[in-house]
Amino acid sequence: MSDEDTETPVPPVPSASPEIRHGEVLPPAASALVAAPSPLPVAPKPPSPARRRSRWKTLALLAIVVIAAGGGAAYWQHTRQGGLPLGFASGNGRIEADEIDIDTKFAGRIAEMLADEGDMVKAGQVLARMDTQDLAASLHKSEAQVQESQQSLDEARANVEQQKTQVTLAQEEFDRTSALVARGFATNELLDQRRQALAGANAALAAANDRVGEAERAIDAATHDVELYHVNIADNTLIAPRDGRIQYRIANIGEVLPAGGRVFTMLDIMYVYMDIYLPTADAGKVRIGADARIVLDARPDLAIPAKVAFIATQAQFTPKTVETKDERDKLMFRIRVKIDPELLRARGALVRSGLPGVAYVKQDPAAPWPPQLQGNVAQ
């Protein structure tokens, strides 16, 4: 056997080109394709320096954005709206003062007006007077009845003294007659007459004492009537119950008002507050008596010290004038922040009702106030 007979056959190499049969005539283009050697793989060109710099800039910018986003989230966690630190909450509202209606107690005509809108008044100051001629006439009548009752009382007391003498006389006559009957110098019939006379005198004395009591009660009633008319006349003098400012004048001189007719509306400058609304997460951390600050839009440089005076026990929708529509769609808790009356006593003329502003409340008693909310008031 020859070497050619023992040669191991080589397996065909798979080719991507179409199979060519022996003796097949190929077109020129196909022949060139088969005859041409397969091209070598081309290595990628290295990126240019400008392209490398652009790629590094993009990566650096992306890193900065990620870091800024993380820092912003951390800062938001550390601060509240408006730059408040943790431990504080805020809400906007309007400064308000308690309104007091100055009304008439009785129906009548206004005789005198001693105050007007915008006037500062003190507690006990007379603001208006009603016409009290009818009450004055009734007062004079009651005073006359007091005098009449006094005269009746004097007469009743004099009658008592007279009856006492009659009782004394009847008792003496009865005693003498009793002694005479015992000696046989008087009859029992006379003794019976003396006994009846004594009983009559005692009855008359009792009646006189009753008339004294009746006269005393009559004079007491007349005296109470006089006191009542004095009170009614005094109630027709309208006075300021507290220190404050006249907000509105509703009536004028000469007008006839019914009982309960309003003449003035005044503001109690000793009770000034702001109602704010906080969500559950913030309201649950606020305590009654907690420190607060009020900053008015008109005076952003002033932080007025205050205290939390009220926290609602039930959530409610926020009033339209307080929050945005998004906030009004949420249930909030009303919190009242009240200014110290002693702070207002010397600054009552500065109180303005209805001014918008922001109230800040302290949730953490140990948290220090920011510098802009340390607390200062207008002098």
pLDDT digits (tens, 9 = 90+) for 251-308: 999 999 999 999 999 999 889 999 999 988 888 899 999 999 999 998 888 889 999 9
pLDDT of residue 63: 57
The CA angle 28-33-34, to the nearest 5 degrees, is 100
pLDDT of residue 185: 85
Domain 100-129+237-257 grouped into CATH 2.40.50.100:
yes
pLDDT of residue 257: 95
In the predicted model, is pLDDT for residue 220 greater than 90?
yes
pLDDT of residue 79: 43
The more confidently predicted of residues 363 and 6 is: 363
Average pLDDT, the chain: 80
In the predicted model, is pLDDT for residue 1 greater than 60?
no
Burial of 304 (0-12, 13-18, 19+ CB in 10 A): buried
Mean pLDDT, rounded, for 152-163: 90
pLDDT digits (tens, 9 = 90+) for 93-128: 999 999 999 999 999 999 999 999 989 999 999 999
Distance CA 77, CA 74 (A): 5
Q: Can you give the chain as a three-state secondary structure string?
A: CCCCCCCCCCCCCCCCCCCCCCCCCCCHHHHHHHHCCCCCCCCCCCCCHHHHHHHHHHHHHHHHHHHHHHHHHHHHHHECHHHCECCEEEEEEEEEEEEEEEECCCCEEEEEECCCCCCEECCCCEEEEECCHHHHHHHHHHHHHHHHHHHHHHHHHHHHHHHHHHHHHHHHHHHHHHHHHHHCCCCHHHHHHHHHHHHHHHHHHHHHHHHHHHHHHHHHHHHHHHHHHHHHHHHCEEECCCCEEEEEECCCCCCEECCCCEEEEEEEEEEEEEEEEECHHHHCCCCCCCEEEEEECCEEEEEEEEEEEEECCCCEECCCCCCCHHHHCCEEEEEEEEECHHHHHCCHHHCCCCCEEEEEEECCCCCCCCHHHCCECCC
Map out the domains of the chain as residue ranges: 75-98+268-373, 100-129+237-257, 133-235
pLDDT of residue 347: 76
Closest CA to 139 of 34, 234, 12: 234
In the predicted model, is pLDDT for residue 322 greater than 70?
no
pLDDT of residue 379: 43
pLDDT of residue 62: 65
pLDDT digits (tens, 9 = 90+) for 18-69: 444 444 444 444 444 344 444 444 445 555 555 666 666 666 566 565 454 4
Distance CA 176, CA 190 (A): 11
The more confidently predicted of residues 210 and 48 is: 210
pLDDT of residue 321: 57
In the predicted model, is pLDDT for residue 151 greater than 80?
yes
Considering the segment(s) 75-98+268-373 as one domain, its CATH architecture is Beta Barrel (2.40)
pLDDT of residue 84: 76
| Within this chain, domains 75-98+268-373 and 100-129+237-257 share the same CATH topology | no
pLDDT band for position 187 (cuts 50, 70, 90): confident
pLDDT of residue 345: 78
